[in-house]
Amino acid sequence: MQKINPIILLVLSTILLFCERNRIEKKEKIKIGFEKKITKKKSKKLLSEKPKIILTEKNVIDFFYNFNRQNIYNKVKISTSFGEIIISLFDETPYHKSNFVYLSELGYFDNTYFHRVVPNFIIQGGNSDNIETSKKRKLIGKYLLPVDAKNNIRHNRGIVSMPSSEINNPYKLASPYEFFIVQKKSGAYHLDGNYTPFGKVIDGMDVVDLINSQAIDKREAPINNIKMKIEVLK
């Protein structure tokens, strides 16, 4: 019988030992959890706080009635790349005020845009073309708010008001996820009675003017996105 060369035998033994060691180490890594890369990542939170209830046409008035009784806050701060806008909210429009505070506390407005700018008239915000915004709306609920025209608050410069929904809405019910600020120096009194003013800019009208001066396309959408973040001042 032919003898195996000692050098070849040593090489083969080394290779077998190396392979076995790799097999053991790989098994041990899986056992102690080193292979976490294969696990699915947790999805990002869409809202800073999960809604306790999904709002509908049937429960929204009762919900905001109770929310208003428990809520004592009446100021919010809108932060943009152009500066900050401070808004004082009216007690005379409790449902619309509560809606705005509630959505702000949930974080709905964060990363939405001032998506519509009408020169020398208004700036409108609360929407975006991001899928995140539609997902937030789905989590919060589908509802409209009635127009409150009995408070006799007029659409002066700096007034914050709620636009009406354009879908199947003969009574001009308010779209709760959006708002507009009157920028026109002489006011926009032709809007009185059809829309609900629920707040007023008390600081930052220079920022409103600056946003209103931005370049827009044919749809009245700013050429460059104007993102916002809204914080309830407590």
Please tell me the distance from the alpha carbon of residue 21 to that of residue 43, in angstroms, as a whole number: 38
What is the predicted pLDDT for the residue at 160?
Answer: 98
What is the predicted pLDDT for the residue at 91?
Answer: 94
What is the predicted pLDDT for the residue at 88?
Answer: 98
Please tell me the distance from the alpha carbon of residue 122 to that of residue 204, in angstroms, as a whole number: 14
Please name the residues in contact with 48: beta carbons below 8 A apart, sequence gap of 6 or more: 105, 106, 107, 110
Full 3-state SS string of 46-65: CCCCCCCCCECCCCHHHHHH
The H-or-E segment that residue 125 falls in is strand 122-125
Query: pLDDT for 195-209, tens place per residue?
Result: 999 999 999 999 999
Query: pLDDT for 162-183, tens place per residue?
Result: 987 555 544 456 789 999 999 9
- Could you give the 3-state DSSP secondary structure of residue 67? helix
Please tell me the distance from the alpha carbon of residue 97 to that of residue 24, in angstroms, as a whole number: 64
Please tell me the distance from the alpha carbon of residue 76 to that of residue 101, in angstroms, as a whole number: 8
| Residue whose token pair is 């408070």 | 151
The one-digit pLDDT tens for each residue of the chain (234 residues) are 455 555 555 555 555 555 555 554 444 433 333 333 333 344 456 788 889 899 999 999 999 999 999 988 999 999 999 999 999 999 999 999 999 999 999 999 999 999 999 999 999 999 998 999 999 999 999 999 988 877 889 999 999 999 875 555 444 567 899 999 999 999 999 999 889 999 999 999 999 999 999 999 999 999 999 999 999 998
Please name the residues in contact with 142: beta carbons below 8 A apart, sequence gap of 6 or more: 55, 56, 57
Query: What DSSP line would sit under 5-17, residue for residue?
Result: PHHHHHHHHHHHH
